[in-house]
Amino acid sequence: MMKEKLEEIREKAAGQIGQVQDLEGLNQIRVTILGKKGELTGVLKSMRDVAPQDRPAVGKMVNETRAQIEAALEEARKKLAARALDAKMKAETIDVTLPARSGKLGHSHPNTLALDEVKRIFVGMGYEVVDGPEVEYDYYNFEALNIPANHPAKDEQDTFYINDKILLRTQTSPVQVRQMERGKLPIRMIAPGRVYRADEVDATHSPCFHQIEGMVIDKGITFADLKGTLAEFAKQLFGPDTKVKFRPHHFPFTEPSAECDVTCFKCHGKGCRMCKGEGWIEILGCGMIHPHVLEMSGIDPNVYSGFAFGIGLERIALLKDEIDDMRLLYENDIRFLDQF
Ligand code: DAH
């Protein structure tokens, strides 16, 4: 009786296991046969009805059946697992013979290239590169640079105001004041950065552009130092035969002030399209720092003197790469930028 029952369970199990399609189904079979309420477990529970002298033999049979079913389950599990892995591998094949996707490397913008060059030259002469805020106090941008409230120079630099006292800096010159106020002398610095003016966009104007400020303060600094420094700068930037020329100009924060021209690097001074037939190209404003400017920032003009200059970065980038429209620098057109 018991023996037949066990035989029946084993055969039924073998039949089910033979047909199962996945691991979940297999588990289901395990539960219905071997689980707490499973069929084989039911047989074990009915052992109490078996005559005591028959129990060891019946118990042995039950255990054997259980072992057989477990072995069959394990064998099926291995097969199903292998089949599942196989399917997964097939689904995820990678064709290693496909050509690799080539990465597109970017490169520096013409502005950055020009700035790196200017930095390299001045760092080579012992200058420090410093930074200043783009959102600036009116005091630093104008007043401390000798441009008081109603000075006409304020009109030339149509300004974006945040409020009465705060604005977007119109020049990098306020960094001069911040550096002087730190009180560490001597000073030899350049300060590159963005500046803002309410200008209409055209081939030579943009409401946001870049300047590079330069400043040297020490005992005994003269206009000769200014000329020598900028002559060397121009040679390194535009070539060894480049000459510089200083034209008197006015800036409120320098006295005397000048604009500095370099010989056209294209025609070497003969006159061409690049320099509009002049042979010379203006590249920066400069001068000896006004004694009042030194004084306002706590430096004694009787002991110290210095020079300063302001370069338009875009102008340098446009000249070096012979680009004739400043807008090209900002349009982010890859076809243009890829050329540098
Ligand atoms: N900040 C001036 C401008 O925006 C440029 C300049 C001229 C800077 C003379 C200087 C300087 O430091 O000495 O036009």
Residue of 158 and 276 predicted with greater confidence: 276
Tell how far the Cα of 251 is from the centroid of ligand 1, in angstroms. 7
Place of tokens 């047989």: 43
234: amino acid identity, one letter: A
Confidence band for 159, pLDDT divided at 50, 70 and 90: confident
State the Cα–Cα distance between residues 324 and 24, nearest whole angstrom: 73
Note the pLDDT of residue 37: 85
Can you tell me the mean pLDDT for 227-251? Answer: 97
Residue of 12 and 168 predicted with greater confidence: 168
Residue 153 has pLDDT above 80, yes or no: no
Confidence band for 286, pLDDT divided at 50, 70 and 90: very high
Q: Whose CA is nearest to atom 4 of ligand 1?
A: 171
Q: Ligand 1 test: best mutation among 251, 259, 261, most atoms within 8 Å of CB? A: 251
Per-chain mean pLDDT for the chain: 92
Confidence band for 156, pLDDT divided at 50, 70 and 90: low
Confidence band for 150, pLDDT divided at 50, 70 and 90: confident
Note the pLDDT of residue 219: 98
User: What do you get for the CA distance between the two ends of the chain, in Å?
Assistant: 94
Confidence band for 176, pLDDT divided at 50, 70 and 90: very high
User: Could you tell me the two tokens for 198?
Assistant: 């309410």
Place of tokens 């040679």: 235
Confidence band for 53, pLDDT divided at 50, 70 and 90: confident
Q: Virtual CA dihedral for 236, 238, 242, 243, nearest 10 degrees?
A: -90
Residue of 175 and 13 predicted with greater confidence: 175
325: amino acid identity, one letter: D
Give the binding-site residues of ligand 1, using a 6 Å CB cut-off.
171, 173, 213, 251, 254, 285-287, 308-310
Compute CA distances 311 → 138, 172, 248, whole Å: 21, 9, 16
Residue of 83 and 299 predicted with greater confidence: 299
Tell how far the Cα of 287 is from the centroid of ligand 1, in angstroms. 8
- Asked if 181 and 163 count as a contact pair (C-beta separation under 8 A), the reply is no
Residues 242-263 have pLDDT tens digits of: 999 999 999 999 999 999 999 9
Q: Whose CA is nearest to atom 6 of ligand 1?
A: 310
Confidence band for 64, pLDDT divided at 50, 70 and 90: confident
Residue 155 has pLDDT above 80, yes or no: no
Q: Whose CA is nearest to atom 12 of ligand 1?
A: 309
- Asked if 169 and 191 count as a contact pair (C-beta separation under 8 A), the reply is no
Residue 7 has pLDDT above 70, yes or no: yes
Quickly count: other Cβ atoms within 10 Å of residue 315's Cβ: 19
Residue 12 has pLDDT above 90, yes or no: no
Residues 116-140 have pLDDT tens digits of: 999 999 999 999 999 999 999 999 9
Tell how far the Cα of 164 is from the centroid of ligand 1, in angstroms. 23
Strand partners, 214: 190, 309
Quickly count: other Cβ atoms within 10 Å of residue 313's Cβ: 23
Can you tell me the mean pLDDT for 207-214? Answer: 97
CA nearest to 155, candidates 254, 252, 247: 252
- Asked if 179 and 298 count as a contact pair (C-beta separation under 8 A), the reply is no
Q: Whose CA is nearest to atom 2 of ligand 1?
A: 310
Residue of 223 and 105 predicted with greater confidence: 223
Q: Ligand 1 test: best mutation among 309, 313, 314, most atoms within 8 Å of CB? A: 309
- Asked if 297 and 181 count as a contact pair (C-beta separation under 8 A), the reply is yes
